[in-house]
Amino acid sequence: MKKTKNYLILFILLVITAGFVFMDSSLSKSVGTINLEKLPLAFGGWQGKSYPVQERILQILETEYILDRDYVNGDGRHLFLSIVYYPDNKIGFHNPESCNTGEGSKIIQKDVLSIGKQNPTNQLDDFKVNRLILQRMQGNKVILYFFVSGNYMTHDYKKFRLHMMKQQMGFRRPSGAQIQIHSNIVPDIKTTIAVMEDFIQNLAPRLPDYLS
């Protein structure tokens, strides 16, 4: 009886494993392509300029879907936008905390920032992003980052991966992206964050249309 039970458990596990293999294979065949360059260069008073991505970066991140842009607003404030996108669940994001330190740079603050929380009419009310403040020899810098999968946006990487897993289990293609916004701190942190919040409030609602 015990042997029969063990065989039954083994059979069920094999069926489940086979199901996941089939699911992964089916979804891999359905992987589509996107063109990140279609993301508007101009929106909400911001004007962007794209920069070519080094081949070395493409190889390290193992994806061809990377967008690097410099955006400037009417006041002459510059922000750097980086989007790294994976069209399936084989994601290889690099930790921003690791990638942006070294060579005289170190993180002096790491927390979560609510975007647009002061404006109850804002569609991004209660939307949160990760915030890093870096101390550098050439001047301090702020990085805000978050994750996008279809219409789902979050600062929490674990929730992001859980969402992708649910997508896959529902036989939907689990694509995802990491969004980073960089800015030098000029003239102070409060002013800099306000500028970055304005950019994100204009950018984020547009992302699902170009990342799925």
Cis amide prior to 187 (ω within 30 degrees): yes
Please determine, for residue 7, whether its predicted confidence score (pLDDT) is greater than 90: no
CA proximity to 75, closest of 179, 198, 181, 190: 198
Residue 36 CA to chain centroid, in angstroms? 13
Quick: pLDDT tens for 131-165: 999 999 889 999 999 999 988 999 999 999 998 88
Given a cut of 80, is residue 13 above it in pLDDT?
A: no
Categorize the per-residue pLDDT at 5 as very low, low, confident or very high, splitting at 50, 70 and 90: low
CB 168 within 8 A of CB 174: yes
Q: Is the pLDDT of residue 25 over 50?
A: no
CA distance 171 to 34: 20
Q: What is the DSSP string of 60-115?
A: HHT-S-EEEEEEEETT--EEEEEEEEESSS---PPPHHHHT-BTTBEEEEEEEEEE
> What pLDDT digit, counting tens, does each position of 170-206 carry?
667 788 999 999 999 999 999 999 999 999 999 999 9
pTM of the model: 0.82
Condensed to tens digits (0 to 9), the pLDDT of residues 71-87 reads 999 999 999 999 999 99
Of 72, 11, 81, which is closest to residue 42 (Cα–Cα)? 72
Q: How confident is the model at residue 19 (pLDDT cuts 50, 70, 90)?
A: very low
Query: Could you give the CA distance from residue 209 to residue 38 in angstroms, rounded to a whole number?
Result: 10
Tokens of 29: 């065949």
Could you count the other beta carbons within 10 Å of the beta carbon of residue 45? Answer: 13
